[in-house]
Amino acid sequence: MQRAYIGSFTSAGGHGVITAAVDPDTGKLTELGRTDAVADPSFLAVAADGAVLYAVSERPEGGAAALSLREPNAPAPLGATVPVGGGAPTHLCLAAGHLLTANYASGSVSVLPVAPDGTLGAPRHVLQHTGSGPNPERQEAPHAHAVLPDPSGRWVLSVDLGTDAVRVCALDGDSGQLGIHHETVLRAGSGPRHLAFHPRGHRAYVVNELESSVTVLAWDAAAGVLTPLGSAATLPKEAADQSNYPSEVVISPDARFAWVANRGHDSIAVLSLDADGDRLELLGTHSCGGHWPRHLTLDPAGRRLYAANERSGDVTWFELDPTTGHPRRTGSLPVPAASCVVFG
């Protein structure tokens, strides 16, 4: 049985981590269980061996937790939630035997060791970002929003909304020390939030929360350098003045399409990629099936798209047209204060 794990904000009426069965023929989600053992588990990640589910606790004090998947329908805590040494972590990833968290409120990235049994230790390092941006309300200080390894496994990238920058970092797997190798500054006031790589690993796509756009960057894994190539809007011209805050970008396995979740416009933008992945073109937008899509993800086969609609309290799913990339809504599952969906 394939399963999905859904995060939700307990402080906003969510149930914590919800486990759902995934119908292989229709993509339908059916709830199997839930646990509120982690407060505000806004983002999740499954270990490569599928044995442990990790979650950030997006609270002011900031935490991370490990949940055993020995009983995959009922994730159970592996020890207590561990403080990360940063405020309001919004994202996490696994790299070089460590769990890394992007801490939005404090503008930092924390590195926690992962023991052989999957449990987490206290942070070995907290890398503090510096700087600010032109938006006085959202960019008065650093705000790390995402952290992820590059496809080569040599680097870790942190995306900072507050400083309009993506930092390429080197992680020492032995010591847990994280050092900045290169910093790419994007357009002032753009507010980069999340990043996805091209399937070939030579391009990266950054979704910008404060200007409703996606930036295309060339990625040189040998040198550890990102170079901006251009950008595309996530809204049609007639909606360009609408208040909108994109949250996530997803790239199709065949590298022909990109999808972006638009919060405010409450839509999923469909963009085409050229053969080299250098250019994006907005093909249109479709309703996300709810309100405030915080997260967007593909199923493992790349056939369906799932949107976690935070404010309407549901996860909706869509069949994807393989020729046009356009989504067709086929169902939904009530999930109060939904924040993300991952597959186990």
pLDDT at residue 1 in the model = 92
Nearest-angstrom CA–CA distance, 105 and 81: 18
Confidence band for 55, pLDDT divided at 50, 70 and 90: very high
> Is the pLDDT at 240 greater than 90, yes or no?
no
Q: Indicate the residue type of 287.
A: S
97 has a pLDDT exceeding 90:
yes
* Confidence (pLDDT) at 314: 98
246-277 per-position pLDDT tens digit: 999 999 999 999 999 999 999 999 999 999 99
Give residue 212's pLDDT.
97
For residue 130, what pLDDT is reported? 98
Contact between residue 310 and residue 9 where contact means Cβ atoms under 8 Å apart: yes
Beta strand pairing call for 44-46 and 257-263: unpaired
Question: How far apart, in whole angstroms, are the C-alpha atoms of residue 7 and residue 56?
Answer: 10
Q: What is the mean pLDDT of the segment spanning 23-28?
A: 97
Domains and CATH numbers, the chain: 37-185 (2.130.10.10)
pLDDT digit string (tens) for 186-237? 999 999 999 999 999 999 999 999 999 999 999 999 999 999 999 999 999 9
d(CA 336, CA 236): 30
pTM, two decimals, is: 0.97
Q: What is the pLDDT of residues 297-339, one digit of tens each?
A: 999 999 999 999 999 999 999 999 999 999 999 999 999 999 9
Cα–Cα distance list, 190 to 133, 209, 218, 258, 265 (Å): 9, 7, 18, 19, 17
For the CA atoms of the chain, what is the radius of gyration? 18
Q: Does residue 10 carry a pLDDT above 90?
A: yes
Q: What is the pLDDT of residues 148-157, one digit of tens each?
A: 999 999 999 9
